[in-house]
Structures are given as C-alpha cells and as structure tokens.
Structure 1
Amino acid sequence: MEEKNYQQYNRSHLKIYNSLTEKKEFFKPIHKDHVGIYVCGPTVYNHLHLGNCRTFISFDVIFRYLKHLGYKVRYVRNITDVGHLENEYYNAEDKIYKKSRIEGLEPMEIVHKYTLSFHNLLNILNVLPPSIEPTATGHIIEQIDLIQELIKKKLAYEINGSVYFDLKEYIKLYPYAYGVISKNKMDKLFHKKLKFLEEKRGFQDFSLWKKAPSNHIMNWSSPWGKGFPGWHIECTTMSTKYLGETFDIHGGGIDLKFPHHECELAQAIGIYNKSCLAHYWMHINMLTLNGKKMSKSTGNFLELKDLIQDKICEKNFYPSIFRFYILQSHYRNIMDFSDKGLMDAEKGYHRIIKAIKILRNFEPKTSEKTLINNFNVHHWINICYQAISDDFNTPLLITHLFQATGFIINNSLQNINISHINLLKKYMVYFVFDILGIQETNYHEENSKKLKILIKRLIKFRTEIRKQKNWIVSDRIRQELFHIGILIHDNKIF
C-alpha cells in the first residue's frame, strides 16, 4: 500500500473515545481536510509537575498523528494568566496574584517566569508548539462581550460589581445540557449544602467577572466597574474566536471535566444556542504518585528536574525516556509513577533506538531482490496504524515496535527483501520519531564519567555565581544546560 493510501485508509478508520458519549466514535471532522483542536493550557503560577506533562505529551501525539494523516490542524492551547480563583467560596484568591505576594514579584513577572518555564519544559520533552497560544489577559474585551451577551439572555446577573452565571436559569432552557461531560446528576448537585458567597443567588453559580478589591493590581475596566474575568469564560472566548462556534476536538486533563469543561460548554450553549461546543471531548487521565493524585498543594508531586537534574549524573536519564515511559500507558488509564517502570522504559527505549541504528547503517551483501522472511513488513505497518488509529493506543503501537525491534536485532537482515528493509526503516522512523515524538540521544558510555563530573562542577560554579548576584553569567549557564536537557529551577537569593 502506498503512503497516500495508508493516510486515506486510516483517516476513515480513526476512532476517538468521546467523553460526551462515553464510547469510541469514528472521527469525522467538520471540514474535510481541516481539524480544529482546543486544549486547556496551564495556569502559569508554578512549574509543571509530571502529571501536567502527561496531558501535554498525550495531546502532542494526537496533534502529530492528525498532521501525519495529512490534515491541516489548527491547534489552540491557551495560557491562563488571570482569573483562576482557588475556589468559589469566601475570600477566594487569584492563584497568580497569590503567588506574586508569596514571591514578592509583580503578577506579570510571575506570569512571564512560569510561562518561560512551561515552554522550556515542553521543548525539552519535544512537544510541538500549538498553532495559536492565546492568553486570558489578551482577550479581556472579547470576554466582556460574551458576558454581556449572557446578561442580555438572562443567563447571568450582575451584583456589587461582579457577574455570575445563573445555572438554574440555564437549566430551565437546557434541562439536560449541564452534566453531560462529567455525568454529574443535577438533583444531587443542587441539593448540596455548602457555604457560598451571600451575594450569589445559588452556590452553583460560577464567576464570569469578579469585582477587584482596591489593592488588587490585576484589574480592568468593564461595564460593571474595575475587575477581572473568571476562569471558565476565557476558554469559551478563545476557543470560539479561533475555531468557530463549533469545532472538532476539545481536550484537557480529566480533572477539568467538572466544573471547568461543564462551565465552558454551558456558556457556549447559552451564547450561541447550539447543541455542542466541540464534537469530541477528550480527557487525559492522571499520573499518580504513591497511588495518589499529583498535586502541588499536597506536596505529592515530582517535577522533570527531579528526574534529570538530580539523576542524570547517576543514571544517565534523558527526557525522551520519560516521554517514552508516559506513552507506554494508554492516555485514558490512570498511571502510577514508579522508578522501576521508568528504568524498564529506559531499557526499551535504548533497544528501539539500537534497532533504528542497525537499519540506518545496514548494507546488503547481495543484489538479490526476491529474498523473503517470515517477518511481513506490510502486515506490521498495518497493525501499527491500527493501534494508533484505535483511540491513539500508544502502548499497543509500542508493543508492535518491540516486535520489529526483536526481528532487527536478533535476525539477519540479509534474509529480507531490500525494498522491505527500506520500508521498515521508513515506518520505524515515522512511528518512533514523527508520531510518538521520541528523540534519539547522543549518549556514549565512554564519555559518561567526564560528563557527570563536568555537569556537577558547572552547577556548583553557577550556584556560587548566583550568590555573587552575577545574573548575566548564571543565566547563560542555565541556558546552556537547558540546551542539553538539564532543567534548573532556582530558589530565591536574598
């Protein structure tokens, strides 16, 4: 089968698990050759932990595969730089504003610092940048416009300078529309007895616009006075601005199903009066640690620097191995992080890379073109595509890659048709590098000890330079270390 035929066949056979219907569905884009994806990005008030990384690695594979199938993909991933409140209860604080007080920096310094950290981390993990990366603060006017539209339709109300979405009024108009993603039962939701802001009509009503306290730096003028937007309205605003009132895929971590994605959907249905916002809703499951959710607030988390900076000098650990480790579990399954799993992934990673190097350097000793072997390359290509086309089943694809790897390493390639060898080489590269996004390391055992010593001394030297407040040199060293895959997160120097 020719390459174009593989693409066309797998376009029509691609299945995606839809959180709306809770089943796999054949993917049918709204426009034949174009796909629109919106993924909820980070709130930039801290460094990403490994659980966050899993979400963005998973959607990177989805992005890569859709492009591999020949689609023109517009991938929108936002940056939340204002409005993400800790909760909807009393004295709730904006996460970025709170972090700015803790670190003694301006809110936009916090935003800049952790946006750079986010980009650097994803670059190290070989995550492709999105087509568009809009920010909440860059779309204040558009958010105000949508809030006004909701007020006009009596689906929102203003009180004391704040605006709230009226969920009871919404459900009167759309009785079965709230809870379709998270499967929450409305009768249980409305009968909860929780404390909430007295100015709200009901505890379930969520913020669209919050009145800013007099000392709150992050505020904008609005028809309701000085304030800032709520968390949910930004995503409805930016997704529809860049992808239209209805688009193909909306995604994020599983923890965003409720309330964030339910609120996004409610806002969109209320504004545009359409049955859906996205045709397919995708959610990446948790990467747990010690059997519990990774969370900064509980201290149960790991960052990539914990695996690279602290262990590279001992275990020669590379970011691509972590990426490979993540992809050995299906994105919809809970995955518990373990050192053993990571070390097993390292062995598997090096084995696959070894096979690719053998293919790359192979030189046939005969010109015979009719030699055959019991390894059927065409069948192998088909089952690899079947795996990735079945709701992006990366662990099954990796199993097939190991099958080919075993053949390449353990058998003589002299017994296979040279055209099949070229085909095998081509599709190993496609599946490993282009679709899974795995990178080949340039690690050499004989140089490892010298490299370990050099890196340790360089980090130690940089620490001394920082104490002298020589920021230019220390930043340059950090940048150079970053280029070889070493992340450094600094503590504050007083």
Structure 2
Amino acid sequence: MQHNLTVYNTLTRTKEKFEPIHPNLVGMYVCGPTVYSDVHLGNCRTFVSFDLIYRYLLHLGYKVRYVRNITDAGHLEGDNDEGEDKFAKKAKIEQLEPMEIVQKYTLGFHDVLRLFNTLPPSIEPTATGHISEQIEMVKQIMENGYAYEVNGTVYFDVDKYIQEHNYTILTNRKLEDLLNNTRELGGQDEKRGRLDFALWIKAKPEHIMRWPAPWSVGFPGWHIECSAMSRKYLGDQFDIHGGGMDLAATHHTNEIAQSEACNHVQPAKYWMHTNMLTVNGARMSKSAGNGFLPGELFTGNHLLLKRGYSPMAVRFFMLQAHYRSTLDFSNEALDAADKGYKRLMAAIGLLDKIIPASQNKIDVDIKTLRGRCYAAMDDDFNSPVLIAELFELVRLINSVYDGNQQIDATTLKMVKELIQHFVFDVMGLKEEQGGTDSEQTETLMDIIIDIRNEAKKNKDFTTSDRIRHELSAIGIQLKDSKDGTLWNKI
C-alpha cells in the first residue's frame, strides 16, 4: 500500500511530506546521553520516541542508518564552556579514572534502554573515539573564515556567520533577545562576541581528559562532536536529526552553524524534537525535587510515587502522548496506562483461544482498521491515535471471544498480523511475564479450573462460585464454554 508519511520539521515549523535524500535509505542522527550520571527520564522519553520512529521506518521498508552518539569527553558546566569539568570533578570524588565513569554509566544507560525494549542504533559512536574528526572539522571551519584562535582556544565567530546565514533559523528567536540573555564581556573574556562558542578548549593543568591539537593540548567543545560524528557516518547532509527540545536553542543551533560553516550545506533535512516532561503539571527537575530516575519509577521508591510500574507499562504510557506533546507524570496517569497495557496484552492472549467461524463470516472490516492504523503513524508518527485504533481491535477480540461476534480464519489471521505489526514491531511492546513464570501461571490456573470443575460436578456451587468471584477480584476472568473453561486477565 502507498504511504504518505508526514513529519513535523522544527526547521520550517510545518508538517512536510517525508522524502529521504536517497530513495529507500534514511540517515537518522539522535543526540545521545552524557554518560557521567544516570540516564534521566527525559532521555528515556526521547529515545523511546525515536525508537518508535526508527521501528516504523523499518516497517515501511526503509533501510535506516540510525546513529546515536555517546558524550564521554567531559564538558564544562553551563552553555558558556566555563567552570569545572564534570568528569574531572566526578573522578576526583569517586577516585576513578574518567573512562571508568564512562563505562559505568554507559552500561547503565544500555541496561535501562533494554528494559524499555528499544532497538540498538546502527552505530553508537563516542566523542572520545572521534577526536581527530573533530579537530579536522575545526581546521576546516577556521580555513573557511568562521572561527578564530585565542591563547590556544578556538571560538566560532557568530558575528561573521550571521552576515551570511540565519543563525536562529531553528528556533526563530530574535538575535536581540539572545544577546540580552547572554552576559556582557568581561575584562578577562577572550571571545570577540557574546554569542561566540568554543570549538576547541585549551586544557588547564589540572584537566584530566586532554588531547594534542594544532592550537593547544585541550579538548573539544560540546557542540562540535555531534557535527563531526554525524558528518562521518551520514555525510554532509542527511535526513533526520533528533533530540529533546531543550537542545534546540543552543546545541542544535550551534550544530547547524558549525556544519554550514564547514560543509556549506544544512546538515539535516528534517529536525525533530521531543517535548519536555512534567510531574503533576510542574516541570520535572532535580532542583524541584520532583525528578525521578527510571529505577525509582520501576520500584516506586520515590516520595511522589504510590507504587512501581513495569518498564512496558511506562513505555505504553509514554506512547500515549505524541512525541511533540508535553508528557505529564502522575500516579493516576501511570495507573491508567498500566491498566490499558494489561488490557491490551490480555486481549492479545485470547487470540489463540478463539475458534474461527466455520463459514466465511466477517463482522468487521479489518482492512479499513489496518488503513486507519497506518494513517495514524503516517501523520507524524501519531502513536496516541494508533493506540485508540488498536483498542477498537481489543473490543473486537473480546467480543468474538465472548461469542457476540464471529470472524473466519482469514480475518483472524489478519487480526494477528495487525497485532504483530503495530503492537510488537512498531510500538515495541512485549509481554513482560514470560518463560517459567508464564508456564507456572498456566499450570496453576489449570489446577484451579480442575478444582472448580470437580466442585461443579459434585454440585458444590458455593465453592465453584467462590473460585470465580475471588479470581475476578484479582483480575482473572473465567468463561465456561462447550470447549471447557477458559480464562483471561481483565
């Protein structure tokens, strides 16, 4: 079937038809984490969102080169490239080599994303593994006249750049506003302009992570790493550049400037950003005391959480909001998502218990429903609408299982394919209870049903009804039929 996939492009602030630069081949770069602390939920929301995008592009048949970087070089506090280096500070406190910190938090990051069932990227480059590429890019920018060196540190010349380019094209902000929000130059400041930013920074004697470069022994600025790595693996221009919306104003704005100054072309055709997280309506942050880590969300070990929630329930919760919408965490919203996820999985569990009608009887148009599912995802990856369509399918499955509707074998096969494509392949959900636990549950339910059947045979209806009612109270429904007693989670 034909697909008219549209994506919202932050660069143009409009929805555009998705047309990759090279047919059937998509280059996608997503800014990864800085690995000197635990991954936070804002990161997780971004990576789950782009996992959905990645999965859908693969489902449509595109070959996708998905690059997600790891920031492990150590960067200075704040956007002005000033202050104490975070890696050095942490290394001193924990008495570790910086790369021990990198390894610890990189493994933790991967562990969390595995719990969320995200697919690994095609390439996951590190900043420290691409120092030479960053140095070469800085050289090229200087040769093109858009950077200058002062005392071993190289700065990007924003004033020169804005004479020929739109520096705020991504955010549409006024330069006057940017200047007003930037501190005045002090007597010791080396930069020519207040908006200039460091491409290469001369290391102080106490700085641990350092590399030799033509200008000094130092380390790269924060912004240059993504430009250098995306260029190496995806070329001067590629299709999708993604990240959280908090990166747009500074990091991505400076990425565009660097890349254009070096390569004379916009680095990405489509810029896509995920929205922020809130907790009970307030912005999530550590300073506000309302920020929690994924592990705390899973265990419920946080003052704001009534209980823990499984990774798949949290993933389902995240997908209930469009990636460009604010996602608000609350116990009520998480409880609702948990119930919705379990209801979806319970319906899927009934599929193998449904006996198709002997005649070619179809009470629902699956082809139309499938078309609506594709239409939802083609509309800028609209997962909330997709979920609403899938719950139409849940209602159908439950109705057929209860004997209120009938479907033939061909239609039942189409239903199963639709579930596989959209629930598992595209949304990336999975049944969390598996293996031995699942087998034990099946065995236990067989024993309970046998006891109940024996009670009914002996006309002990009090015991029979008690078993049914108490199972119902814990979310398990029994259904008596001519084929025996079946059960499902409700």
Q: Which runs of 5+ in 2 are unaligned?
A: 442-490
The partner residue of 2:88 within 69, 77, 97 is 97
Give the aligned residue type for 2:386.
L
SS in 2 for 1:148: helix
Change (3 A) 1:193 1:51: closer
Q: Equivalent residues in 2 for 1:364-383 (5 A)?
A: 364=356, 366-368=357-359, 370-373=360-363, 375-383=364-372
Partners of 2:44 and 2:373 in 1: CA distance: 25
Aligned equivalent of 1:235: 226
How far is 1:153 from its partner? Answer: 1.6
Structure 1 residues 349, 271: CA separation in 2 closer, same or farther (over 3 Å shift)? same
User: For residues 80 and 106 of structure 1, what CA distance do their matches in structure 2 show?
Assistant: 16
C-alpha distance in structure 1 between counterparts of 2:249 and 2:82, whole Å: 21
Aligned to 1:115: 106
Preserved CA contact (<8 Å) 1:195 1:203: yes
Shift of 1:202: 1.5
- Output aligned runs, 1:242-257, within 5 Å: 242-257=233-248
Kindly provide the amino acid, as one letter, of the partner of residue 51 in structure 2. D
Shift of 1:62: 0.3
**What does residue 219 of structure 1 align with?**
210
One-letter amino acid of the structure 2 residue matched with residue 39 of structure 1 = V
> Structure 1 162/384 Cα, relative in aligned 2: closer, same or farther at 3 Å?
same
Aligned positions, number: 433
Q: What's the CA shift string for 1:452-477, capped at 9, x where partnerless?
A: xxxxxxxxxxxxxxxxxxxxxxxxxx
Deviation per CA, 1:323-358: give whole Å up to 9, x if none: 000000011011110111111011111111111111
Provide the C-alpha distance between the structure 1 equivalents of 2:232 and 2:122, rounded to a whole number of angstroms: 14
The answer to whether the 8 Å contact 1:83/1:230 transfers is no
- For the pair 1:352 / 2:344, whether they are aligned, the reply is yes
Counterpart residue identity of residue 325, structure 1? F
- Of residues 145, 151, 164 in structure 2, which corresponds to 1:154? 145
Match of 1:355, as an amino acid? A
Alignment partners' CA distance in 2, 1:110 and 1:299: 25
1:336 counterpart residue number: 328
Q: Aligned equivalents of 1:121 and 1:16: distance in 2? A: 28
Q: Which residue type is aligned with residue 163 of structure 2?
A: K
CA contact (8 A) 2:76 2:82 kept: no
Q: Is the aligned partner of 1:144 residue 2:111?
A: no
Tell whether 2:254 aligns with 1:267.
no
Contact 2:344 2:391 (8 Å CA) reproduced: yes
Q: Which amino acid aligns with 2:367?
A: H
Counterpart in the other structure of 2:12: 21
Task: Call closer, same or farther: CA 1:415–1:89 in 2, change over 3 Å.
Answer: closer
CA distance in 2: counterparts of 1:334 and 1:70, whole angstroms: 30
> Which residue is 2:463 aligned to?
none
Deviation of 1:188 (Å): 2.6
In the alignment, structure 1 residue 325 sits paired with structure 2 residue 320: no
Query: CA contact under 8 A between 2:81 and 2:197: conserved in structure 1?
Result: no
Question: Could you tell me the TM-score, scaled by structure 1's length?
Answer: 0.84
User: Could you state the TM-score of these two structures normalised by the residue count of structure 2?
Assistant: 0.84
What pairs up with 1:152-231 in 2 under 5 angstroms? Answer: 152-174=143-165, 176=166, 178-192=167-181, 194-196=183-185, 198-231=189-222
| 2:38 is the counterpart of 1:47 | yes
Distance in 1, matches of 2:404 and 2:233, equals 50
Structure 1 residue 295: Cα displacement: 3.0
Map of 2:294 onto structure 1: 304
Shift in Å at residue 417 of structure 1? 2.4
In structure 2, the CA distance between the partners of 1:382 and 1:256, relative to structure 1 (3 Å rule), is same
Once residues 82 and 367 of structure 2 are traced to their aligned partners in structure 1, the CA distance between those partners, rounded to angstroms, is: 62
Residue 416 (1) aligns with residue 407 (2): yes
SS in structure 2 opposite 1:288? strand
Provide the C-alpha distance between the structure 1 equivalents of 2:423 and 2:7, rounded to a whole number of angstroms.
21
Is the alpha carbon distance of 1:339 and 1:310 closer, same or farther for their aligned partners in structure 2, counting shifts above 3 Å? Answer: closer
AA of the residue aligned to 1:49 = H
CA distance in 2, matches of 1:95, 1:289: 27
State the AA in 2 paired with 1:304: P
Task: Report how far residue 82 of structure 1 moved.
Answer: 1.4
Match of 1:293 in 2: 283
State the match for 2:386 in structure 1: 397
Cα 1:90–1:15 change in 2 (3 A) is: closer
Q: Deviations over 1:357-381 (max 9, x none)?
A: 11133233x432x2121x2111100
Q: Tell me the distance in 1 between the aligned counterparts of 2:284 and 2:88.
A: 23
Q: Report the CA distance between 1:191 and its aligned residue.
A: 4.5
Question: Which residue is 2:120 aligned to?
Answer: 129
Q: Partners of 1:193 and 1:140 in 2: how far apart?
A: 29
d(CA) in 2 for partners of 1:357, 1:88: 50
The superposition leaves residues 74-122 of structure 1 with CA deviations (integer Å, 9 ceiling, x where unpaired) of 0000000114322244842333222223333221111111001100100
Question: Measured at CA, do residues 315 and 447 of structure 1 come closer, stay the same or move farther in structure 2, by a change above 3 Å?
Answer: farther
CA distance in 2, matches of 1:446, 1:292: 43
**Counterparts of 2:404 and 2:428, CA distance in 1:** 26
Mark the CA change 1:90 to 1:116 in structure 2 (over 3 Å): closer, same or farther. Answer: closer
Aligned 8 A contact 1:51 1:288 in 2: no
